[in-house]
Amino acid sequence: MSLARRFKTSISLRNRIFLAMTSLVVLSSFFMAIVTLYQYQEQSYDYHKTRLNRKELQLLKSLQNELRKSEESIDEEHLKAVFENEIYSIASIHNVDFSIYNLSGELLLKSNFIQENQPEQLSSKPKLAIDFQRQIMNSKSSVIIEPIDSEVGFFFSSYFKLRDIDYTPVAIVHLPYFEEDTFNKKELREFMIRISGVYFLLLIVALSLSYFVSTYITKNLKAIASVLSKTDFNAVNENIVLSAESAEIQILIDSYNKMLEALKSSAERLAKSEREQAWREMAKQVAHEIKNPLTPMRLQIQEFEHNYKQTEKIDPKELKEFAQTLIEQIDIMSNIATAFSDFAQFPKTKSSRIDLVNQTKRILDLFNQVEIEFEHNTDTVEITFDKDQWSRILTNLIKNSIEATLHQEHPYLVVKIRQGLDEVQIEVIDSGDGVQQKLVERIFEPKFTTKNSGMGLGLAIVKKSIEYHGGQILYTRLNEKYTCFKIQLPLKIQSR
């Protein structure tokens, strides 16, 4: 992910709203200042150009009036004589400087009325450039040199043709224009300072407003985000109850609440379906397990009936064997029913404080035909547990170990109890072949077994009982020779 993208995603919605509103005010103030300056320059330019045009018309009218006073023909010498004595007077009347060139672009007369602050570019040249002189002669109106904007004002130059009574060009007039602009610029600076103060106040107002608006908008979003962060699909979730200030937020809340209702309904249907499926599988397993002893019982009864029909006598020995066989098969079905009952409906516990070491010794004494080592780091370990359930747990694990080592000449079986600060650890270790690595994850699943007989419910019941008492059981392979069932039980936490 690029740095720009990480930065973008790290900005919260509240900060984005805050920055957007602030940027809008700052940018608008900036562009308003630019537009103000541009407008001032345009207005100044138009104003001074209009004044120059008026001065040009007034000067042209005065010069033409002087020409009309003369009764002689207009030539270069006569033109110079006409205006030589009047040029200063005309300049004084109109308060301007101007110069007169002949049609060849040579300077004839110059008023020299105003010389202060006049830049060199506006000074009348002794001779006009040929190209510029041609441009003036070919132009239908005056030729204005674009203004020079200095610190003191605007400077223009206007060149126009002077015509006689017959509208024939007789001379070229150069009218320089200067207007001091320091006062206007001072006013502009003062105006910009005032408007900057207004913009600054607007910025403060915008910062405050954007802060409160962003907080107002994101308040409900934060509350919704807090609820969403606590949503757990494995637990019961509560609906969002908020009085939303906007329709969009209310739509979001309603959508979330509808999703929870749909999720709850879906979870209930799924749980119901799983329960039904589990019971169907359980019913199949029960039917299969019960069917196994029923078959030999049926055959035994049929054989007994056949023998009786042939001899019409009952041999006490055969009757005893027949009854013993039926009792064995009935006991098998009873054990099957008990096992499924224990798994399907966990029996009520009678938890009490028991001495785990002493209770384990009593259970191990029942297996006196097998050599079982017993190791413990303390003589007494008191925990809260159901005594009968502990007996069934340990008996089941020891029986599994004995069955796993039956084929060995020198089997190894040991039970270890180690007490820690907060828990006690029980290990049942044997030298059996254990379970293949790919099947380890399924070892505590119901109906899973690696033996030719049995229903695969023993370890499932063991795990269920241990977890009920707040503990856990793990299966590990210590090395190539030994496997271990490790049980961890709390010392202080009471059973649920």
**pLDDT for 7:** 46
Other CB atoms within 10 A of residue 449 CB: 14
Residue 40 burial by CB count (10 A; 0-12/13-18/19+): exposed, middle or buried? Answer: middle
357-413 confidence digits (pLDDT tens):
998 988 888 787 788 899 999 899 999 898 888 888 888 888 888 888 888 888 999
The pLDDT > 90 percentage for the chain reads 7
Does the pLDDT at position 108 exceed 90? no
Angstrom CA distances, 416 to 76, 328, 364, 374, stand at 136, 36, 12, 6
Query: Which domains are assigned to the chain?
Result: 11-188 (3.30.450.20), 247-344 (no CATH), 351-490 (3.30.565.10)
Better-predicted residue by pLDDT, 292 or 58: 58
Mean pLDDT of 132-158: 72
Mean pLDDT of 121-129: 72
**pLDDT for 289:** 59
Does the pLDDT at position 339 exceed 70? no
Give the closest residue to 53 by CA, choosing from 88, 96, 86, 102: 96
Mean pLDDT of 188-214: 82
Q: In whole angstroms, give the CA distance from residue 341 to residue 348.
A: 12
Mean pLDDT of 149-153: 54
Does the pLDDT at position 89 exceed 80? yes
pLDDT-derived band at 17 (thresholds 50, 70, 90) equals confident
Better-predicted residue by pLDDT, 472 or 453: 472
**pLDDT for 479:** 82
Mean of pLDDT over the chain = 77
Does the pLDDT at position 158 exceed 70? yes
Better-predicted residue by pLDDT, 339 or 478: 478
411-458 confidence digits (pLDDT tens):
999 999 999 888 999 999 998 888 888 787 887 877 667 665 555 667
**pLDDT for 355:** 92
Q: Which residue has the tokens 């908020």?
A: 242
**pLDDT for 120:** 56
Does the pLDDT at position 1 exceed 50? no
Q: Which residues are CB-neighbours of 149 under 8 A, at least 6 positions away?
A: 155
**pLDDT for 125:** 77
pLDDT-derived band at 250 (thresholds 50, 70, 90) equals confident
Mean pLDDT of 295-312: 69
**pLDDT for 37:** 82
Segments of 206-268 assigned E as strands: none
Mean pLDDT of 290-299: 64
Q: How does 134-148 read in b/e, with b if 16+ C-beta sit within 10 Å?
A: eebeeeeebbbbebe
**pLDDT for 215:** 76
- 382-386/413-419 β-pairing: unpaired
347-370 confidence digits (pLDDT tens):
566 788 899 999 898 888 878 778
**pLDDT for 495:** 46
**pLDDT for 84:** 79
The pLDDT > 70 percentage for the chain reads 73
